[in-house]
Amino acid sequence: MSAAPSKARNTKAAARARITAVTSGKGGVGKTFVSCNLAAALARQGRRVLVLDADLGLANLDVMLNLAPKITLHDVFTGKSSLQDAILPAPGGFSALLAGSGMVEYSRMTPEVRDQLLKVIETVAPRYDHVILDTGAGISDVVLYAVSLADQVLVVVTPEPTSMTDAYATIKVLASTQSRVQVQLVVNQTRRHGEGRAVCLQLQQVVDRFVNPGLAAPVRLDLLGQVPLDIAVRDSVLRRQLLMESLPGSPAALAVAAVATRLLD
Amino acid sequence: MARSQPASRPATPALQLDLALQLLRQAGHALPEGTPGSEAWLQSLIDSLVDMSSRDALTGLANRRSFELALAREIDRVARAGEPALLLALDIDHFKSVNDTHGHASGDLVLKAVAKVLLECVRPMDMVARVGGEEFAIVMPNCAPAFGEAVAERVRLRVEALPVSIGLSQQIHVSVSIGGAFAPQWVRSSPALWIERADIQLYRAKAQGRNRVCLEPSAVSVVSAEEKALLFGISQFQDIE
């Protein structure tokens, strides 16, 4: 990672967490699923991980984790509560900072949201090895800003044309507005072996043809892994359990664990 | 000051409106109609005050306050309806030297003349505002990215061609630098960020020598038919246009 300030990522003594923004363009492709199961997989490997619900308008990390937080980011933003009190232990052995509902007023980018989010991330970064920002759908200013705070950006995409189009649009915007040279890709809900690789190559081809010629430094897509379509995922989401906890041996859980390992490389 | 009034003074229904009426008269506003003190008369008075407080006193354009309101409204509309809107930030080039050379009265004439020509070259639905000393802004709802450059360039040329009479026999010409940014479809923003983006382009226009237009490269989030064709393989994606 060109943006990484330190090479000492793999040691526990890292001065500051590696910040990963998880985004997708299109909603409903498994952003939050990937964010929290990736966090659990990293936690299993001994990392201190915090997941921050950066989908300020339509937060649903609490639903996914079956948590009913009394204190949320909203209380931190409004000064009603300390940041420390808002950080909750989540199933899976990581920490979570939930946006909760009532954040609609923060779903639009204002200098206030910008400052608050930056302050929160700067405060938590020294205390963890990984901070995962689970962003909202779309390419709103809040999403773009959250991504701009991250060392690396992970785009979740499914093999569906609508998801690929929105992932491509996201990559294009990130390349032109944030000069990203590397974008990590997780292809979710694949139906056959090698489909993730194919989606990545297809996206890279269009990026090379239409995006890279206009850039100072070309964008390279890095496939972190593919997560197979797995009925266990649906079941765990419906039961509001973390797949990594309830069925760690399922194909999808094993695939997310492999993504976590690649992330640590 | 309320403090100077005796605390024991009885509450009076009479409103102190002299200053309000005086200000309206001075601003050339029609005075409220109807029976003084009636509800209709008061509403009409309030409407006039609202109008006055949303305008710039010198040029009659929208002032910064009403401009920012319009911008917030426009962002909401763009996000809901998916129509692109353009914000132009304009600055009169070397305005300080106009003031220094010809005096502030001439500077005011230039501001008024520029304000007038700006109003003439936009559509009725567009809002032209004076947001600072020699700074203007135009909000253009439903302006397609493809037309942005042409629209801004037309404004620039009209100002460049405008002779401003500053004396009986003296005319001067001024120019404007223009920066522009679109509030792209389905990308939510805030007035502050939108202004900031247009301002960045205005600085670029100034840095590149003034009397020119710089628009933020737009439509980066739009995926063209060609891009889609390559993304899905040409045979799968048929262009039906």
Interface touch A140/B231, C-beta < 8 Å: no
Fold type of domain A20-264: Rossmann fold (3.40.50)
pTM of the model: 0.64
Cβ distance B231 to A164 less than 8 Å, yes or no, reads: yes
Residue of B73, B189, B223 to mutate, interface with A, max A Cβ within 10 Å = B223
Q: Burial code of A229-252, b = ≥16 C-beta within 10 A, e = fewer?
A: bbebbeebbeeebbbbbebbebeb
Query: Which CATH number do you get for residue B116?
Result: 3.30.70.270
User: How do residues B133-158 score in pLDDT, each as one tens digit?
Assistant: 999 999 999 888 888 899 999 999 99
pLDDT digits (tens, 9 = 90+) for A96-106: 999 876 666 66
Out of B192, B221, B222, closest to residue A110 by CB: B192
| Angle CA B123–B128–B130, to nearest 5 | 165
Indicate yes or no: CB of A206 within 8 angstroms of CB of B190: no
For this structure, is B196 an active site residue? no
Whether chain B has a CB inside 8 Å of the CB on A173: the answer is yes
Select from A129, A130, A158 the least CA-distant residue to A31: A158
Partners of A96 in beta bridges: A51, A88
Examine residue B227 and state whether it is found in any structural domain, yes or no: no
Whether residue B232 and residue A161 make contact (CB cut-off 8 A), yes or no, is: yes
Q: Distance (Å, rounded) from C-alpha B134 to C-alpha B62?
A: 14
Full residue range of the structural domain in which residue B146 is found = 64-215
B227 and A173 in contact by Cβ < 8 A?
no
Residue where the block lists tokens 């700074």: B135
Distance CA A166, CA B231 (A): 11
Which chain B residues contact residue A164 at CB under 8 A?
231-232
User: What is the reported pLDDT for B144?
Assistant: 84
Partner residue opposite B220 with nearest CB, options A110, A172, A209: A172
Q: Which residue of A has its CA nearest to B193?
A: A110
All residue ranges of chain A with pLDDT < 50 are: 1-12
Chain A touched by B217 (CB under 8 Å): yes
* Cβ–Cβ below 8 Å for B221 and A139: yes
Question: How close is the nearest chain B Cα to the Cα of A91, in Å?
Answer: 33
> In this complex, which of A141, A168, A209 lies closest to B223 when CB atoms are compared?
A168
Return the structure tokens found at A194: 């090698």
Burial class (CB in 10 A: 0-12, 13-18, 19+), B229: middle
Task: Tell me how far apart the alpha carbons of residues A190 and A227 are, in angstroms, rounded to a whole number.
Answer: 6
B234 inside 8 A of chain A by CB: no
Cα distance from B238 to chain A (closest Cα, Å)? 13
Q: How far is B23 from chain A (nearest CA, A)?
A: 35
What are the pLDDT digits (tens) for A123-170? Answer: 999 999 999 999 988 887 788 888 988 999 999 999 999 999 999 999
**Cβ–Cβ contact B189 with A under 8 A:** yes
Residue of A nearest to B222 (CA): A169
Count up the domains in chain B and report the number.
Answer: 1
Tell whether B231 lies on the interface with A, counting CB pairs under 8 A: yes
Please give the Cα distance from A56 to A126 (Å, whole number): 23
Q: How far apart are CA B28 and CA B52, in angstroms?
A: 10
* B241 in any annotated domain: no
**pLDDT per residue rounded down to tens, chain B (241 residues):** 444 444 444 444 578 899 999 999 998 888 888 888 889 999 999 999 999 999 999 999 999 999 999 888 888 777 666 678 899 999 999 999 999 999 999 999 999 999 999 999 999 999 999 999 999 999 999 888 888 899 999 999 999 999 999 988 899 999 999 999 987 654 556 787 788 889 989 999 999 999 999 998 755 677 888 889 899 875 444 444 4
Interface confidence, given as ipTM, is 0.80
Catalytic residue among B68, B134, B149, B216: B134
